[in-house]
Amino acid sequence: MPDSLSKMMRPALRDLKPYRVPVHPGVVKLDANENPYDFPAALRDEILGRMRGPAFTRYPDAGARVLRDAIADYTGFGPENIMVGNGSDELILSLMLTFAAGQRVLIPGPTFGMYRIHAVIAGGSPVAAARESDFSVDPGRLLELAREHRARVIVLCSPNNPTGNTMPAADVERIAAGFDGLVVLDEAYYEFCGRTAVSLVDRCPNLAVLRTFSKAFGLAGLRVGYMVAPEALVRAAWRVKQPFNVDTFSQTAAAVVLENRSVFQAQVKRLCRDGAALYGRLRALPGIEVFPTEANFILFRTPLEPEAVYAGLLERGVLIRNPGGPGLERCLRVSFGRPEENERFLRALEQVVGGL
Ligand SMILES: *Cc1c(COP(=O)(O)O)cnc(C)c1O
């Protein structure tokens, strides 16, 4: 690229590393907290059946009305409180573009990396706040930091990725009530814990809750997420929304998933049961420290360098996540898989930790 163009980029963008996702075909994939079961064939056929007529040739419904009605029914809010996105990732960016440009964004970490990246892309300045030693967030301390840094956006995540702990709704409410900027609460893993603060949207005018179809609902490949927020907030974020951000196929698939949510609720139940067994076995391994989880993944600390454990597992055909960063020294994250996948992971880990 010519120097002249390079100089035209915002310095913050020049310093941003392009997001890289490792690709390892054929391995046991326990790195991205996806639903490990095959998408139910009957539902896939139902989705395909609805893709007749003009579904391919015409633009999608920019208002995603059928899907927003289905989400309204699922969450107990009205469609005016719902906005759908190309994954909840897009909604994080939409909220940052709407509210964070030129502002400080307070992010209690360790947490999901996209908050920082989207804050930077939107022209905001991320400010990292350290969580407590058990990865909880102290509302009083966070509010103090928000004042100190003059933050205008706070991003919370419950259950938190990659640590697995939830945040009491009372703490979310205290933060929203004590802060006059925007509070984003990411509940991507809500279905695994059943705990939510979404009802606060009725009484917190500055709270936006994000959810996704990528985890419990098995649609990571189709990119659908949604936001539940006060109508004024939805209208504000709608200004930066690409008109056709979610394609017809994805809108249809997400609506069919919600109509058949009992199928996925049964999968979640099975995953959590098998995940609890995985948790117990992992905890029994000598030298492994396991953190409590309310999501479909487990954060654990090993006696070895995480890069070595990660590479050793990959050599044995198992891909997990090495999240890295402050507070996560020697920590790795593994997703709940199918029982035989969990078994493969445990056996590989035993070899790696015992044999290095
Ligand atoms: C996986 C994940 C998401 C991503 O959701 P998409 O809808 O697939 O973009 C959002 N937030 C957290 C915390 C996640 O772990």
Tokens standing for residue 230: 């006060």
pLDDT tens digits along 137-166: 999 999 999 999 999 999 999 999 999 999
Ligand 1 centroid, distance to 58 Cα (angstroms): 29
Of the candidates 196, 200, 202, the residue with the CA atom closest to the CA atom of residue 216 = 196
Nearest C-alpha to atom 11 of ligand 1 is from which residue?
188
**Is residue 356 scored above 70 in pLDDT?**
no
Ligand 1 centroid, distance to 286 Cα (angstroms): 32
Number of CB atoms found within 10 A of residue 279's CB:
21
Q: Which residue has the tokens 């999501």?
A: 295
Mean pLDDT for the stretch of residues 286-309: 97
pLDDT tens digits along 205-248: 999 999 999 999 999 999 999 999 999 999 999 999 999 999 99
Cβ of 323 below 6 Å from ligand 1 = no
Ligand 1 centroid, distance to 287 Cα (angstroms): 30
Cβ of 81 below 6 Å from ligand 1 = no
Cβ of 187 below 6 Å from ligand 1 = no
d(CA 181, CA 126): 14
- Contact call for residues 63 and 245 (beta carbons, < 8 A): no
Report the 3 state secondary structure along 159-219.
Answer: CCCCCCCCCCHHHHHHHHHCCCCEEEEECCCHHHHCCCCHHHHHCCCCEEEEEECCCCCCC
Mean pLDDT for the stretch of residues 119-141: 98
Q: 86, 112, 115: which to mutate for ligand 1, most atoms within 8 A of CB?
A: 112
Of the candidates 256, 244, 152, 148, the residue with the CA atom closest to the CA atom of residue 206 = 152
Number of CB atoms found within 10 A of residue 273's CB:
12
Report the atom number in ligand 1 closest to the C-alpha of 111. 13
The whole-chain average pLDDT of the chain stands at 97
User: What pTM did the predictor assign?
Assistant: 0.98
Cβ of 186 below 6 Å from ligand 1 = yes
| pLDDT value of position 355 | 61
| pLDDT value of position 273 | 98
- Contact call for residues 16 and 222 (beta carbons, < 8 A): no
| pLDDT value of position 96 | 98
Mean pLDDT for the stretch of residues 344-354: 96
- In the chain, the DSSP E strands lie at 28-29, 82-85, 104-109, 125-130, 151-157, 182-186, 207-212, 225-228, 289-290, 297-301, 318-319, 331-335
Of the candidates 29, 26, 31, 33, the residue with the CA atom closest to the CA atom of residue 268 = 33
Ligand 1 centroid, distance to 215 Cα (angstroms): 8
Mean pLDDT for the stretch of residues 50-75: 97
Nearest C-alpha to atom 6 of ligand 1 is from which residue?
87
Cβ of 111 below 6 Å from ligand 1 = no
Of the candidates 227, 222, 211, the residue with the CA atom closest to the CA atom of residue 252 = 222
Confidence category of residue 22, pLDDT binned at 50, 70, 90: confident
Ligand 1 centroid, distance to 5 Cα (angstroms): 33
**Is residue 32 scored above 60 in pLDDT?**
yes
Report the atom number in ligand 1 closest to the C-alpha of 212. 7
- The percent of residues above 90 in pLDDT, for the chain, comes to 97
DSSP symbol at 131:
P
